Structure 1
């Protein structure tokens, strides 16, 4: 029973995107353009929702401005940078058994029919201008809080206020 629970947990976790720095399975990355302007990108998994990926890029933009000491931000560009990946393979036919495997022939032969699969890797890239003023600028703290609540993300440690005794 324990193994089934662990397997289901891994399966469910593997199907959703997680908010994190860039790794082999996606995440956010940023590049500084000037003192208060950054380019932020977020790439998800093929099972990720495009809206979620865009929201994660906006969340990272808000957090980045907060980290830099700014209270507001303006998105000057938002681009869908999703890409299509294709892979092809030949399925195997036949059966493998222990005796065939021990003899060096596994009884499995490649099929003549090639199968091609296509999938979309959702991604977004935006440019953010961090500031402390501007009537049309988004308030970084409230935007970040709303997106964290929407996706049930924990508050980063660096934002938790410390109470001194």
Structure 2
């Protein structure tokens, strides 16, 4: 029974060292979306402290493509895009340990002590996020740069080895 609390913490520890996977928004980040009109969506992806900005940008684009396909569209335009990073720091606790020895001879006492201090390291944590506002189309629009949702979906899932279907 002593090890039960440690066993319960093991999955959290194992997951905490990984970058955010392609998933719906959760504890370690992920994607979310809001439908703004019939064919307009705001898509966001939030990474954790182990996630690179390129991965966050790719997963925002991947979710945009997936939404387009899921809603019966073949193309989409990114009409607004934002990328940002939240920065924080964490400083480990400081611990000091002192060992000492003393001895005496006659009326005199002698001794020495050694103090060792550990901890106090500060870590910078950057959590990247990205959002796209997209407009979806069934036919390739003549104005503006558009993405082919199926091609984006295929290439980004291949790049990251993601097992998902576009529909």
Q: TM over 0.5, yes or no?
A: yes
| Counterpart pick for 2:77 among 74, 79, 92 | 74
Distance in 1 separating the partners of 2:16 and 2:125: 19
SS in 2 for 1:31: strand
| Counterpart pick for 1:148 among 135, 139, 157 | 157
Gaps of 5+ in 1: 1-6, 96-110, 160-165
The list of structure 1 runs, each at least 4 consecutive aligned residues, that deviate by more than 6 angstroms after superposition, is none
Distance in 1 separating the partners of 2:37 and 2:85: 26
| Counterpart pick for 2:97 among 87, 94, 99 | 94
Report the alpha carbon displacement of residue 116 of structure 1 after superposing the two structures with TM: 3.6
Report Cα offsets for 1:71-91 as digits up to 9, x if no partner.
Answer: 111111221121112233432
User: Which residue of structure 1 aligns with residue 45 of structure 2?
Assistant: 42
Gaps of 5+ in 2: 1-9, 99-116
Higher strand share: 2
SS in 2 for 1:15: coil
User: Which residue of structure 2 aligns with residue 14 of structure 1?
Assistant: 17
RMSD: 2.6
SS in 2 for 1:82: strand
Report Cα offsets for 1:99-141 as digits up to 9, x if no partner.
Answer: xxxxxxxxxxxx7985443210011111111111214321111
Report Cα offsets for 1:12-32 as digits up to 9, x if no partner.
Answer: 993333100000100001111
TM-score (norm 2): 0.71
Radius of gyration: which is bigger?
2
Distance in 1 separating the partners of 2:16 and 2:75: 33
TM-score (norm 1): 0.71
Distance in 1 separating the partners of 2:75 and 2:88: 37
